[in-house]
Amino acid sequence: MRIALAVLRRDRRSQVATVLVALGVMIAVSLVLWLLAAPNGLQARADRTAWRDVLGQHDREAISVAKNLDSYDGKLVQRFDVARRHQFQGHIEVAAGITRFPEAGEVLLSPALADLVRSTPAEKLGNRFPGRQIAELGPEALKFPGELVAIIGHEEVRNGFPAPGLVGSSGSYRDDYKGMLYLLTRVGLVVLVVPCLVLVASAARLTAAKRERRLAALRLAGASPRQVVVMTAIETAVGAVVGSALGLLLAQPFSHLTARIPWEGGTWYPGDFVPEPAVVAAVAVLAPLLVIGAAIMGLRRVVNQPLATQERRKVRSWRLLTIAGALGVFFLGIMYAQEAGESTVALVGLGAVAVALVLAGPVMTAWVGRFFVGRWRKPSTLLAGRRLSGDPVAAFRGSAGVVIAVFTGSMALTMLPGLESQVPYRDSTWNENAIVADQVTHDVTPLRLTTSAPIVTMLDGTVKSGNHSRYVIVGQCAEIAKVLTGLTCQPGPAVYSSRSLGGDEFKPSGLDDLTAKLPEKYETRPFEAGGQVDAVIDRELLPSIAGEVSMVGVPTTAENRDAVQTALIGTLPGVRLTDGEQRGLYGDTLMADLQRATIIGLSIAAVLGGIGAAVAAAGSVIDRRRTFGALIAAGTPIRVLAHALRREVMLPVFAVTIAACGAGIVVGLGLLTLARGLVGHGEMPITPWVVAPVGVGITVALVAALACGPVLRGISPRDYAAE
């Protein structure tokens, strides 16, 4: 112990290495705690909004609830129309943050929505929430600060679901975008921890060669293996424990900073991103233990063969097989996740792929070195090639973080376009300026009195064709054409479809005891269906249901859109509105969140990889200080040595990052198949941007390689002139 502490007190390079180990552990601990806090933030949101789960409980159906999504001025509004069921007269339970259940004519608004209502003309927004505002919703009932939420009491809600009250036990934090952030944080935890470990390893190896020589000399002088291990553990523990403590301190302000990152349309409450105390304690203890364990594992040669510490480590080609094995585990995990709904095995495979790339990197580095030694004659490239082929493990160490960053970037850029194609942007069923209300069971006559916009009444349902049902709309063709895309009408009754219906019985939606048959002969006209509607039937062909209405559509203009939507909501309480702006807002919000998460993750990976490469490049100069000093004393220009050092970093990066890019594309496609179960079905496009991380990785490696310049210029050839 005294020897280890004396080294830390007197050796400047050991002190620098200890500081860098502390910084690396600090970054790793704070990053891991940040990612592990994300499920807590999601769970906190889910707990606050559990009252919005309106699943019926037949033993106590106290209220009816209609949950709908509304929009105003580019903002989404969560709307809940509620009514007491007539047979229930008792007390209705409410969740924390809800003052009491709003009876008919009473309204509860979130603070942000209440402010917006006060500052907006009533015909554009306020009339959507008719009644007296009895209170504001507290933060315990809101997903995020500034959320727009309204609970409106009615005498009756026809389209509502039965519920015991406005209270829930506990929500599922996997419900955000159907588990998207949950999946992203778990993937981020896997792919970002590896660059952290590379950074810590690079810092710990900053004086590895000198430490090995010192410990080998002590072993030859009679030190026991236990003494050597204890010395290494103490040297490493100082930086690891300090770094872990600093990481814990950094995690607190980091969580408050993270709370300002939007997700699902809003930021977080400050206490959301706080990990569990048990998780904090586990990470704080395990991080130093892992670093100390890694340092001790590196002492095998010193303990067993102290005379062989200067020998170069050979690499075996079997390392390349680890990539195939890791990919096999990953795809087995994907198959298991698709069947069982559990992605842990797939994430283990993802981590295995990242580790396999690090293990296989030295093999490719040795190949690159031998190639340039055999075919190049430029001094700087020959020196770099000798280093790469002679000690590929040490030569690749600085490139490992950059390779993982390229792997992560290619994986993310493979997934992002595929997710974008699956995001529920506005579909092409209805015109962009149309607002359509479905599941209408109300009298629509008052609606005609409250708005001057044309009102289109329709009846939706299905026509069965063999084993399949086709979704059709019944109404006046000229009227429906005002709101439905792709419909061109001609005089006279007809069926507008891209092909024959294949059946003659029409079954209206929501009317179980009503059917109607088409006449034996009717004209079929072309209809380019671009959305959900397969066909349009003129009402004259189905006279028995001429007066039935289940949908109402209104074409709007930019000037009257808000007023029309307010009139629809006020006249038809509880109905679901299909609005192009609303769907566009939801899709835009989701894509912005995914892009933001991707940029943050890739930036962290690139910074960690660059720092790790810079530390490793500087460490390689320190480890070979005597060699470089002798070369300079013998007349080798510093410029040639600087070029050789840059090539040492760049050549393996260029070779291995291409393989990492390919692995990232394959893994990204695999994760995309898993994500398809979360957000729906769509294409899997691969864009040319997936190879962009290769260029970024090479640039980052080049910038990191410049760190060896100042260290190289600090070497004095006078100390080695006698050699």
Among residues 612, 606, 605, which one has the least CA distance to residue 204?
612
Top-confidence residue, 112 or 264: 112
Top-confidence residue, 129 or 374: 129
Is it the case that residue 446 has pLDDT exceeding 70?
yes
Query: Band of the pLDDT at 281, cuts 50, 70, 90?
Result: very high
Tens of pLDDT, residues 197-226: 777 777 666 666 667 777 778 778 888 878
Break the chain down into helix, strand, coil percent, rounded to 5. Answer: 60, 15, 30
Query: Band of the pLDDT at 135, cuts 50, 70, 90?
Result: very high
Query: Taking a C-beta distance cutoff of 8 angstroms, is the pair 145, 52 a contact?
Result: no
pLDDT at 171: 55
Lowest-pLDDT choice from 293-307, 319-333, 395-409, 529-543: 293-307
Mean local confidence (pLDDT), 675-690: 60
Is it the case that residue 447 has pLDDT exceeding 50?
yes
Distances (CA, A) of 242 to 27, 53, 201, 232, 236: 12, 46, 16, 16, 10
Paired residues of 436 in beta bridges: 553, 578
Instruction: Tell if the pTM clears 0.85, that is, is over it.
Output: no
Mean local confidence (pLDDT), 119-123: 90
Tens of pLDDT, residues 248-277: 998 888 788 888 888 888 898 888 888 888
pLDDT at 604: 85
How far is C-alpha 569 from the chain's CA centre?
35
Mean local confidence (pLDDT), 698-714: 79
Is it the case that residue 634 has pLDDT exceeding 70?
yes
Measure the CA angle with vertex 29, ends 25 and 31; round to 5°.
Answer: 115
**SS3 assignment for 5-52:** HHHHHHCHHHHHHHHHHHHHHHHHHHHHHHHHHHHHHHHHHHHHCHHH
Quote the tokens at residue 221.
């002088």
Among residues 526, 561, 521, which one has the least CA distance to residue 541?
521
Tens of pLDDT, residues 371-425: 888 887 788 888 888 888 888 887 887 788 888 888 988 888 888 777 666 555 5
pLDDT at 169: 64
pLDDT winner (highest mean) among 37-51, 299-313, 707-721: 37-51
Among residues 574, 628, 293, which one has the least CA distance to residue 439?
574
| Helical residues (DSSP H) of 509-579, grouped into ranges | 561-571
Top-confidence residue, 674 or 84: 84
- Report residue 369: phi and psi, to 5°: -60, -45
Tens of pLDDT, residues 506-522: 998 877 678 889 998 88
**Distance from C-alpha of 387 to C-alpha of 365, rounded to nearest angstrom:** 10
In this structure, the chain runs to a length of 723
- Report residue 476: phi and psi, to 5°: -80, 120
Contacts of 326 (CB under 8 A, 6+ apart): 349, 352, 353, 355, 356
pLDDT at 313: 61
CA atoms within 13 A on the CB side of 209: 16
**Distance from C-alpha of 503 to C-alpha of 495, rounded to nearest angstrom:** 12
Tens of pLDDT, residues 309-354: 555 567 788 888 999 999 999 999 888 887 876 777 888 888 899 8
Angle, helices 12-48/2-10, rounded to nearest 10 degrees? 100
pLDDT at 391: 83
Quote the tokens at residue 297.
């594992």
Among residues 80, 52, 258, which one has the least CA distance to residue 143?
52
Distances (CA, A) of 204 to 19, 291, 432, 571: 10, 9, 60, 70
Neighbours of 410 (CB within 10 A): 27
Average pLDDT, the chain: 82
Q: What is the dihedral of CA 158, 162, 166, 170, to 10 degrees?
A: -140
3-state secondary structure (DSSP) of residue 699:
helix
Query: Band of the pLDDT at 99, cuts 50, 70, 90?
Result: very high
Q: What percent of the chain has pLDDT over 90?
A: 18
Is it the case that residue 97 has pLDDT exceeding 70?
yes
Among residues 232, 234, 253, which one has the least CA distance to residue 242?
234
pLDDT at 679: 46
Top-confidence residue, 706 or 98: 98
Paired residues of 72 in beta bridges: 75
